[in-house]
């Protein structure tokens, strides 16, 4: 076969570098706009769901609570929090008749894997923790996640003395301020107790004396 009869193969012209840069930039911009748009669309739902979860958690850790009032420290005393408050907040809790039931205190700190966020109920009259719920945790599945999956461990916080402070013990703790460590997850157990003690150190000195609790929220509650 002669060269003249051979099929010619033509190479495609090289793509100019500015075309590639423009295309990648445009695709990145479109992707970014889609992500931001999706976030903005879902943000109200996410915020609403978090508020509902927090409300349910408050009522779970303070037995008998049906209403709650967000409270902040204004530098000298507890004060009712505005909806757009920025900073640390606790929740004064009341029954349906407006009778004070206790405080729900959010707290967080480092765990074995990442930060642990939790909330616990506290009765100033008896100086007892009456409930605890982990709100966010990335502790090791099957071990560290028992801080919220193990009913026995969670149950340790349903009648727990805070004085002189909460402590973790291996085995069965006989004292009212002792929490039994989870087998195989001692670090996570200690982390939860450390977070609770830090919350107590921060908030308990700021609480009004028993009998001088803040009044219930307005009609209908929160």
Average pLDDT over residues 102-126: 94
* Contact between residue 166 and residue 129 where contact means Cβ atoms under 8 Å apart: yes
Question: Rounded to whole angstroms, how far apart are CA atoms 160 and 177?
Answer: 5
3 band by pLDDT with thresholds 50, 70 and 90 = very low
CB proximity list for 52: less than 8 A, separation 6 or greater = none
200 vs 219, residue with greater confidence: 200
Question: Rounded to whole angstroms, how far apart are CA atoms 211 and 216?
Answer: 13
Q: Across the chain, what does the average pLDDT equal?
A: 85
pLDDT of residue 84 exceeding 70, the answer is: no
140 band by pLDDT with thresholds 50, 70 and 90 = confident
* Contact between residue 162 and residue 129 where contact means Cβ atoms under 8 Å apart: yes
pTM over 0.85: no
Task: Indicate the burial class of 27 (C-beta count within 10 angstroms; 0-12, 13-18, 19 or more).
Answer: exposed
- Helix then strand then coil, % of the chain, to nearest 5: 35, 25, 45
Residue-level pLDDT at 83: 58
Average pLDDT over residues 129-145: 92
Q: How far are the Cα atoms of 3, 40, 53, 215 from residue 218, in angstroms, in the given order? A: 95, 32, 22, 9
- Structure-token pair, residue 179: 């929490």
């Amino acid at each position: 076969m002669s060269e003249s009869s051979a099929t010619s193969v033509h190479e495609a012209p090289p793509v100019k570098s500015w075309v590639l840069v423009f295309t990648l930039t445009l695709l990145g911009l479109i992707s970014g706009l889609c992500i931001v748009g999706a976030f903005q669309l879902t943000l109200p739902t996410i915020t609403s769901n978090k508020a509902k979860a927090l409300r349910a958690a408050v009522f779970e850790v303070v037995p008998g609570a049906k209403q709650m009032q967000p409270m902040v420290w204004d530098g000298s005393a507890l004060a009712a929090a505005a909806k757009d408050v920025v900073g640390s907040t606790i929740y004064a809790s009341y029954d349906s008749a407006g009778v004070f039931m206790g405080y729900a205190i959010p707290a967080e700190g480092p765990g074995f894997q990442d930060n642990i966020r939790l909330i616990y109920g506290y009765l100033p009259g008896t100086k007892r923790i009456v409930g605890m719920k982990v709100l966010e945790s990335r502790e090791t599945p099957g071990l560290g996640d028992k801080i919220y999956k193990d009913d026995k461990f969670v149950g340790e916080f349903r009648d727990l003395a805070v004085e002189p402070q909460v402590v973790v013990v291996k085995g069965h703790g006989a004292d009212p301020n002792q929490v039994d460590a989870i087998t195989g997850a001692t670090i996570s157990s200690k982390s939860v107790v450390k977070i609770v003690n830090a919350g107590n150190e921060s908030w308990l000195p700021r609480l009004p004396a028993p009998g001088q609790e803040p009044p219930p929220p307005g009609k209908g509650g929160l």
